[in-house]
Amino acid sequence: MNNPAERIEDYLSGQMSPEEKLAFEAELKSNEDLSELLRVYNKIETDMVNAEKYRSQEESLKETLQTLGEKYFKKGTPVVRMNNRRQWFRVAMAAAAVLLSVVALYFIFSYNHSSPAQLADQYVKKELSHLSLTMDGAKDSLQQGMAAFNDGDYERALQIFEEVYRVHPENSDALRFAGVTYMVTKNYDMAVACFDELSVKKELFSNPGLFLKAITLFQRDQPGDNEKAEQLLKQVVDQKLEGSRLAAEWLAN
């Protein structure tokens, strides 16, 4: 079965064998296109379930679809009644291809006119709201903390990360994840402390400590924090530390 849509449908509907499911989930971790397709599929599912909540926007939606239809589809195209989720998905993906170009232009324009603080806020929402799990069995405890974080159980996640780091002070991932957890729970002072400690670890090939500290200062937004954060971004760029590409882009705005 090579059709990505059909594979996702079978995965979500429980029609895969245990072996197929394991193989599919393993592929999700390495195949960004498939992972993004699953995210879009889930979004479509959620929007369909919640459609009744947005009846007040129906007329506006009809006008938008009519405009798109007149622009992108020939007159006289037959309307097909969609009786199942898979048909909905295929049509929605075709429409998404049209809409994505418009959305991309909007975000490119917005991105190029945002301050470093605004870009840092976008980064937190996009990149730090979910921790990626690994298949490394040697990090079971760390995986449990990551799973708790992704489930929104930040207190439990923090307990695990701090315990792992206490027992294994060489585990910089545990320290980094503890700092991220403090950040997303708005305990910015503790997050800064974690990232300060992380930034001085010389054994790391790529150290994100200063970059994450800058983001935390932007988030805390106390007097002088933005200026300090921008100085840190410049330091990240000058020393070519982890995050230097983004730091340079943000400073250029």
Domains of the chain: 4-110 (no CATH), 124-252 (1.25.40.10)
- The whole-number average pLDDT for the span 31-54 is 66
pLDDT at residue number 176: 93
48, pLDDT greater than 90 = no
- The whole-number average pLDDT for the span 6-17 is 79
Mean pLDDT for the chain overall: 77
3-class SS of residue 190: helix
pLDDT at residue number 131: 83
Contact 86, 6 (CB under 8 A): yes
243 vs 123: CA distance, rounded Å: 11
From 101, 117, 126, 128, select the one nearest 208 (Cα to Cα): 128
- The whole-number average pLDDT for the span 73-77 is 53
191 vs 185: CA distance, rounded Å: 10
92 vs 42: CA distance, rounded Å: 12
DSSP single-letter state for residue 52: G
Higher pLDDT, 176 or 101: 176
50, pLDDT greater than 80 = no
87 vs 250: CA distance, rounded Å: 41
Q: How many residues does the chain have?
A: 253
From 12, 216, 26, 49, select the one nearest 124 (Cα to Cα): 216
169, pLDDT greater than 70 = yes
Contact 237, 244 (CB under 8 A): yes
Q: Which two tokens stand for residue 222?
A: 């106390």
Q: Where are the alpha helices (DSSP H) in 31-153?
A: 32-49, 58-72, 85-111, 116-127, 140-150
Helix/strand/coil percentages in the chain, nearest 5 = 75, 0, 25
3-class SS of residue 18: helix
